[in-house]
Amino acid sequence: MDQNAKKQAVAKAAIDYVEQDSIVGVGTGSTVNFFIEELGKIKHKIEGAVSSSEASTEKLKALGIEVFELNDVSNLSVYIDGADEVTEHKHMIKGGGAALTREKIVAGVAKTFVCIVDDSKRVPVLGNFPLPVEVIPMARSFVARELVKLGGDPEYRQGVVTDNGNVILDVHNLDILNPRELEQAINNIPGVVTNGIFALRGADIVLSATDEGVKTFK
C-alpha cells in the first residue's frame, strides 16, 4: 500500500470517533486533508468543526462544513490530527505544516485527541524530524541562540509566516529523551510561542495505517 492509500485508510478509520451532532476539532496536513474529505461525506451528522489552520478552514468550508470560532465553543469531544513523529507513549512532534500553535490550543480543549498517521511516523524516540518552534519575529536570533544552548541546531524556515504572523525555527539534532521536560524548557524561552513537542498533552489514541490494516494504540 502506498503512503497516500495509508493516509486515506487511517482518515476513514478516524470517522468512527466522530460523535453524532458534535463539533469536531480538525487538525492540519495531508493526512487530515483525507479526513476532511471523509467528514464531508457525513456532514449532515455533525454540527460543524473547529479548525487548527486557515488551510483546513478553507477545505472544510469548501465542503459546506460550518467552521466555528474556538472562543464560541466550550468543549470538543474529539480532535483529529496527524503528526510528524509519534512514540509508543503517544508523544508527538508536530508542526511540519507550521500549524503547531493552533493545533496545540485546539488539542488542549478536546476531551480525546486521536492522532492519525501512516506507520512511517511511528518512532522509538522523538527528534529525527527537526522540531518546529514558532517564534515572535523579533526574537528569532535570540531564541536560536538559546536553542543551541539546549543542544539543538536551529534552522530558520525561510519564507514561512504562520497563521499567527510568526516565524518557524526547525531544530535539528535533538535527541528528545525527556519530551515533557524539553517541551516545557523550550516554551520558557522568551519569544517562543510554542514548540512542536506534544507530550504534556499527548494523544489519547493513535491510529496507524499499515500494510495489514489500521492499528489502534490506546
Q: Which residues are annotated as a binding site for substrate?
A: 28-31, 81-84, 94-97, 121
Closest approach of ligand 5RP to the CB of residue 97, in Å: 3
The catalytic residue among 38, 58, 88, 103 is: 103
Instruction: Indicate the residue among 31 and 87 with the shorter CB distance to ligand 5RP.
Output: 31
The residue assigned the cell 539534532 is 173
Instruction: Indicate the residue among 135 and 190 with the shorter CB distance to ligand 5RP.
Output: 135
CA dihedral 95, 99, 102, 108 (to 10 degrees): -30
Question: Which residue type does 7 have?
Answer: K
Which residues are CB-contacts of 199 (< 8 A; sequence separation ≥ 6)? 89, 91, 92, 179, 180, 183
**Nearest to residue 200, comparing CAs of 83, 76, 135, 108?**
108
CA distance 156 to 133: 10
Q: What H or E segment, with its residue span, contains residue 4?
A: helix 3-14
Q: Tell me if 130 contacts ligand 5RP by CB under 6 A.
A: no
The contact mask relative to ligand 5RP for 63-92 (x = CB under 6 A, - = no) is ------------------xxxx--------
Closest approach of ligand 5RP to the CB of residue 161, in Å: 14
Known active-site residue 181? no
Residue selected from 4, 5, 16, 30 as contacting ligand 5RP according to rule CB under 6 A? 30
Q: Are 1 and 108 in contact (CB under 8 A)?
A: no
Question: Which residue type does 179 have?
Answer: P
The residue assigned the cell 506534544 is 198
Q: Tell me if 97 contacts ligand 5RP by CB under 6 A.
A: yes
Which set of grid coordinates corresponds to residue 92? 508527538
Residue selected from 95, 130, 179, 191 as contacting ligand 5RP according to rule CB under 6 A? 95
Annotated binding residues, written as ranges, equal 28-31, 81-84, 94-97, 121
Residues forming contacts to ligand 5RP in the complex (CB under 6 A) are 27-31, 81-84, 94-100, 103
